Amino acid sequence: MGFVAAVVFAVCCWFSHGVAGQEEPIQTFVIPHSHMDVGWVYTIQESMHAYAANVYSSVTEELSKVKERRFIAVEQEFFRLWWDTVASDTQKKQVRQLIKEGRLEFIIGGQVMHDEAVTDLDDDILQMMEGHGFLYETFGVRPQFSWHVDPFGASATTPVLFALAGFNAHLISRIDYDLKDIMQKNKKLQFVWRGSPSLKSQQEIFTHTMDQFSYCTPSYLPFSNCSGFYWNGVALFPDPPKDGVYPNMSLPVTKETVHAYAKTMVENIKQRAAWFRTNHVLWPWGCDKQFYNSSVQFNNMDPLMKYINQNSKEFGVTVQYATLSEYFQTIYQSNLTWEVRGSEDFLPYSTEPYQAWTGFYASRNVLKGVARQASSRLYAAETLFTRYRISFPDGPVAKDWALDKLRALRWAVSEVQHHDGITGTESPKVADMYLQHLLQAMMGAEELLASPSILDIEQTLEQHVIVYNPLAWNITTIVNVTVTQPSAAVFDDDGQPVPAQIQGSAHSNATYDLFIVVELGGLQYRKYLIKFPENSKAYEAKAVSFERRSVKDRAKAGRLLLPVLSECYELLFDQDTNLLHSITYLEEKRRVMITQDFWEYDANGDVKAGPISDNYIFSANGSAVRAYKAVEMEIIPGKIVTEIRQYFYREESDKDYAYSITTRVPECFGTKLPCHRLEQTYSLGPLSLNTEVVLRTSTSVKNNRTLYSDDNGYQMMKRTYRKFTNNTLARNYFPMVRTAYIEDDLSRLVLVSDRAHGVSSQTDGQLEVMLHRRLWNNLQWNLGYNLTLNDSSVVRPTLWMMLGSVSATSKLYQREAVQLQHRPVVKEPKRGSPLRSVVLPPNLHLLSLSIPGWNYCSNHSVHLNLHSQPDYDRILLRIMHLFEEGEDPELSKPVTINLKEALQGMGEVKGVEERSLTGTWDIASLQRWKWKTADNLEKDNKQQRRQDDDFTVTISPKEIRTFFVHFVSRNF
């Protein structure tokens, strides 16, 4: 997305100054590239038709003509589409030769350039693995560098993942404008980043930050109105011009213009050189949607570069086409000592005083929710199909059909991780495209999980359901099955009665919620029988209603407090306000004052009236105001769960509520139900135009406006409240992907979420979560691209809340966040044998269990024999240690497990090989570059196998380890 690039180029002026006392000419690495958003303004198919296919067709042709030319390819979704549907046999042969010569280089190698603020690490790994699998199988290529030039801020998790994938260097661009200015002045745009405080130097990576010109070639020319070095002009939608003449094509390089072009380019190179420590300048040549007519590009740049090199003594500069690896190799060989950056991230991101890019943390809540739901369903389908294939390799489910269904969902989940996808910063038609791809692929996964049809519920007095636990832990939890009968009894597969509770649905007068207590082993499913007798064995819970209370009556608050008890908590609700009053966590008998309600920020929609909020930017007109005038409440006491429903009305006399909170408090009547979590679901919308709605949880916790929120569900980041000259409110918003909490010396309040949100602590004791936004503004740029956020949807996100001491909650929140993401799957039954459980220790999480299908070569030095058939016998196992070093006295310890024993519930393991994160490297042969650092830590970037024997491995805090596992065949 080139918004900032366009703004910078429109307003910046050029300064001509060289580097004093320069003896050697500045060596300039001109890196041709095209930034191709997988979505954003146009759909993927529209972009393929208008320009993306032409990029690869014309670049392939032009690189084949002149051996000095180079190009880097980034987003694999576009390249793979071109390769599979457009490229001719001749073009494919040319591509293979260019790759062999190192002149066409794949950078990152993922399906997309993923967002870094609101994506989950499961999905970041997935989209990278799918791209890497394709590249490895097709070309034997393993990307080793990143080019993360456009995500809106930089996470500390991303460099860790890239290091685990075998990358040698990382490149970022969008960081806070004032911080970038300081880094430029002090020549600190390059550093060694240790993204994880637990992994430390084990996964450090050299990081290059783009200077103020970002990833685009400067577009300003002092001698022309045309846009800089883009001789091919501007891409045309919907169709490319047949004559190859595009709008705004720059003046050609001729004898008359070459010196003016050279002078402009050299001045910019020298300006950049002053911001870096070495005599080597990375000069990106390209921008959004460039190189679709690359013959024009290269035919003008070739003579310009030749002219500069012929006059290099005069200019003090040499130029050469380069790939990113050629640039980083030169920096590496400079042998300098680099400063270390710890586990801080670069979030939030601002481009100007009133342009804090913190709104997108909550934009398009529905899309964010569906994306995570699709990821969760994919996880369940992957684990279940993998278990099925191990047990029944010749079973009736067709393996090719199953892999097609899985790949469709893998690619749909991958593409929406794009930095203009899950962010909610795309046009409405592109958002619809993502949703359509996700929902269609989820239906395919449901087919894979599906069973023979059963009779319609209304025509039978019994119903069968299967509940599958996709996690490698034993769990006891509550599942909710929607039924149409008011009475029910539930039995397990042994015919024994199961604790259950039935009550009227909060969302429909025609259905009922049946809560069933399920106990499941890891990766195990159980069958339950629901009968609908007149005399129900399930507890029938009845609602108690409380009359609507006006906010005008707040003065009376605190007189009538109604308790709701569980084994973990006593919740008090105020009958004068119908709001939560306080929670006591009973283990320590400590009470915390807590109120939850909804507040609205008013957004300006007129650019003439001041700063605006849009898809990207949050810029409130002032403090939030209460979003309601009255509250109703009903409580449904139960033997399994007590449900509190609160309804918030904009006006006292409104018939319909605008917002609601449904809180489920497990009763834990002698079972192993997890009573420490309070499960909350909200309903918001449709919102009024130009409002941004937050759930505000106000407490007596003395957190001094400091909060903690996670980077990509991987690690927690401390967010200290900072004051700014302008826009302090918006610049103190942070992304919450899975978890956020506030704490003091005595208590910690934790929220875990089923999708990404924005989170802040604007006053002491407060944790507010931005859940929904509806915006419209008259900024011409937004209107032109249809990027206003007129989102009239009703959203229903879920948060689980926990309260307790710091030590108690430290043992819980990581697993709770994973369990919320991967709740049991309730489905109709199918034929099949019972599954034996697979259980990992409580501090280890089964991050992936799948059959990638890609063809890998265990020994990369052996020539890759490209197979036409997918590999169904290679099981990918990925395990993550959930805890940070020192976070808990026991759970933070390294864990040693025998994989053969741990996986015996699936089958007999005959071989294990450890691989890099995306599977393309044998870990024993992976030797990443070692960069000199100021602290001179002794380190070995070669990852160790740490296997005591063929199957025993030790996993340290925050490690993610990836294995290929081979099972003994069960073909009979």
- CB count within 10 Å of CB 842 equals 16
pLDDT value at residue 907:
94
Distances (CA, A) of 722 to 691, 729, 763: 24, 9, 12
pLDDT one-digit tens code per residue, 395-405: 888 999 999 99
- Burial annotation 500-529 (CB, 10 A radius, 16+ → b, else e): bbbbbebeeeeebbbbbbbbbbbbbbbbbb
Peptide bond into 889 cis (omega under 30): no
Distances (CA, A) of 105 to 95, 102, 564, 639: 10, 6, 62, 62
Work out the mean pLDDT of the chain and round it to a whole number: 92
Among 3.20.110.10, 1.10.287.3510, 3.40.220.10, 3.30.465.10, name the CATH number for the domain at 26-360: 3.20.110.10
> Are the C-beta atoms of residues 184 and 208 closer than 8 Å to each other?
no
Element containing residue 433 per DSSP (H, E): helix 428-449
Q: Closest Cα to residue 165, out of 196, 124, 200? A: 124
Whole-angstrom distance between the N-terminal and C-terminal Cα of the chain?
55
Alpha-carbon distance 712 to 117, whole Å?
7
> Are the C-beta atoms of residues 388 and 397 closer than 8 Å to each other?
yes
How far from the centroid of its chain's Cα atoms is residue 129's Cα? 14
> Are the C-beta atoms of residues 621 and 566 closer than 8 Å to each other?
no
Q: What's the token pair of residue 517? A: 């207590």
Q: What's the token pair of residue 424? A: 């909610």
Q: Closest Cα to residue 113, out of 40, 205, 54, 13? A: 40
pLDDT one-digit tens code per residue, 325-341: 999 999 999 999 999 99
- From 150, 710, 711, 754, active-site residue: 150
Alpha-carbon distance 431 to 435, whole Å?
6
Low-confidence ranges of the chain (pLDDT < 70): 1-22, 451-460, 669-671, 829-833, 861-868, 936-949, 971-972
Residue 897: DSSP 8-state: E
Q: What's the token pair of residue 603? A: 């957004």
Exposed/middle/buried for residue 888 (C-beta within 10 Å: 0-12, 13-18, 19+): middle
In CATH, which superfamily holds the domain spanning 541-822? Golgi alpha-mannosidase II; domain 4 (2.70.98.30)
pLDDT value at residue 509:
87
- Give the architecture (CATH level 2) of 468-529: Sandwich (2.60)
The three-state secondary structure class of 282 is strand
Distances (CA, A) of 613 to 396, 422, 774: 54, 18, 10
- Which residues, in sequence order, are CB contacts of 608 under 8 Å at separation 6+? none
Strands 524-531 and 489-491: antiparallel
pLDDT value at residue 556:
79
pLDDT value at residue 950:
81
Residues forming a β-bridge with 26: 317
- Rounded to the nearest 5°, which phi and psi values hold at 297? -60, -60
Alpha-carbon distance 170 to 40, whole Å?
24
pLDDT value at residue 971:
53
Q: Closest Cα to residue 263, out of 9, 16, 8, 21? A: 16
Alpha-carbon distance 347 to 409, whole Å?
30
pLDDT one-digit tens code per residue, 289-298: 999 999 999 9
Crossing angle of the two packed helices 813-821 and 365-391, in degrees rounded to 10? 90
Sequence ranges of the domains in the chain: 26-360, 468-529, 541-822
Largest CA distance in the chain: 96
Angle (CA) 500-504-507 rounded to 5° is: 120
- Residue 494 falls in the annotated catalytic set: no
How far from the centroid of its chain's Cα atoms is residue 916's Cα? 20
The three-state secondary structure class of 459 is helix
